Structure 1
Amino acid sequence: MKWTLIALVIAVSLTSCKKSTQKEDDNYIKLKSTELNSEEIAARGKTLMQNKCYLCHSPKAAEKSMIAPPMIALKARYTRDADSKEEFIADLWNFVEKPTHEKAKLKGAVKRFGLMPYQPYQQKDIEAIAAFMYDYEIEKPEWFQEHWKKNHGKGYKQKGKSVGSLAEPEQSYAEIGMSYAKSTKQTLGKNLMGAIQKEGVLHALSFCNVQAMPLTDSMATKHNAIIKRVSDKFRNPKNKANEVELEYISLYKQILENGEEPEPMVVEEGENVNFYYPIVTNDMCLKCHGTPGQEIERETYDKIKELYPQDKAIGYGVNEVRGMWSINFSKNE
């Protein structure tokens, strides 16, 4: 195991050195037009949207419990301004690359939910998501039509091909593991963001202290898997990474430092599968995991020390490995 990880680190380092000598692509749209129109990109965009966007933009959430506008609202607003698919994609990336109040098109959503926190997404991933949104009918909440009509004077008629026409390939073990991590992240994130919006960061800390482990365990039961969030700088001692997990966390740190996109790692052991994927920080995370006196307010830091006397989970910046998903499941599930 150890030598395998070392080999992977060397490979990643060599790839990074090679990439650093290559000329940056000056094109605003990274994906070629032929790629943007392919079913393969659309299928990838659909999966990426479910994995990266639905934590906050879920089409299943009730209107009053939303913590961000649904993706259909973004499609409706951005297609109104865009004269072409390429312009639609460029406009979405322009905002997601570095969200600001000036660039935001959904002013009402920003007023209600606040500005989307910066997250270091890959441009090619956002373009794949945008290409899928533009070409296909995406899922919308039951309440959306009435909401849109109330705020815009008329209903929204979505354009696009049926998503049922996209082939659904058999899931790999990496995709299965990612689906377990994604659904658990959505459950935790929805409750955490709701706690922050309702009563602030201090209430969210108390929520995590009491509910994070039981919610994770409930998702493990649902998927018949062992689901853990582990870290080398744990807040709750129950989230302390073991020796093998520490090696993967170290590897993921090296991947991010090299400017590479982290991918799930899968180790098959007989009839069982071990899945690993990093938990990476964004602006919102720093309210509880940043630097005391800077991102972490004094009152918040005092509460952290009260709830977690052994806390080590501070001092992070944006786009750093905060921890890792460590999931074990059977091949027969």
Structure 2
Amino acid sequence: MPRFDYKQALEELKTYRLTNERRSETVAALGACLIRGNYTSKLGDEGIGDNWSRDIYARTSTYLFFFFLYHVVWPLYEQICIAALDVDDQELANVCIDHLQKRFGESSLRFRRLLGLRHEAAGRLDEAQAVYDSILQEDETNMVSTDKKKRDHAININLCTIIIKLAAKRQIALLKARNKDQEVVEALTKYLDTFYDDFEAWLELCDVYLNKYMYEQAAFCCEELILLQPTNHIIYLKYAEILYTLQQYTLALKHYCKVLELCTDHVRALYGLHLCASKLLKDNEVQHAGNLHALAVERLLDIYQKQPQDQRKLVESYLSSIE
């Protein structure tokens, strides 16, 4: 049996933190070996303040604090704890939480977030909600004393913002798990008022609106998503389909074309183009509708040329039925 190389394990875990990779099964397995083999005692605690590695963060001169963590033991415990919760290793997670609680106590926002995650993993959603509510109610401007330097204050505020952002997302996830759609909409709207550039949050809000058949609001979310990621063809496709549902065929046609510009021969976009063009064939004000219709048919038939004959005939029959 090969000897466990704890230094290599630490380097691997550090890499995952730097690259923000979850890798829960690997992290939990390595973490269990490190903790049960007492290798964590070899790591230092130097420079760790109330917000974990604040002084180290100051020396690195970077805003990527949360992922740019060095070989100190506390971020490692945090990383292992989250992975253990992901793989349902409650025993390992509890060991990490116990160590962190002894060191930092429940005044630490990061520690309280872990408590919330543990409650979630155990199905105690009310307790988790209470923890996240307490985090979001924190006044981040009071997190440092007035005699601190401005740089330390800015660092501390940045850390609080990260934790508050993560807690807000977990709070939204809890509301979604309870099927409280209206509260999810309100929470996401409030969240996006603060974190406007969060792509995933806009996408989540869009999906919530779609589930409620609120297509105009979903279309607005897609417009915001396009502003954030103007080269993402999936968002243009989503927007085009919403516009088609709203019977805005001309605008939907343009966005299906944009999808095909970004991703040649995208089959779903070609079907959308075919449907829109079919709707607009009799509208003389829409230029090139006939050409686009013919192009969609041509490309779809060419794509299915290598498929089995019965599938080709089915596609041909479908395309000819929509004129």
Q: How high is the TM-score relative to the length of structure 1?
A: 0.27
- TM-score, normalised relative to structure 2: 0.27
Higher relative contact order (CA 8 A, sep 6+): 1
Q: Comparing both structures, which one devotes a greater share of its residues to strand?
A: 1
Larger helix percent = 2
State which structure, 1 or 2, has the greater radius of gyration over its C-alpha atoms: 2
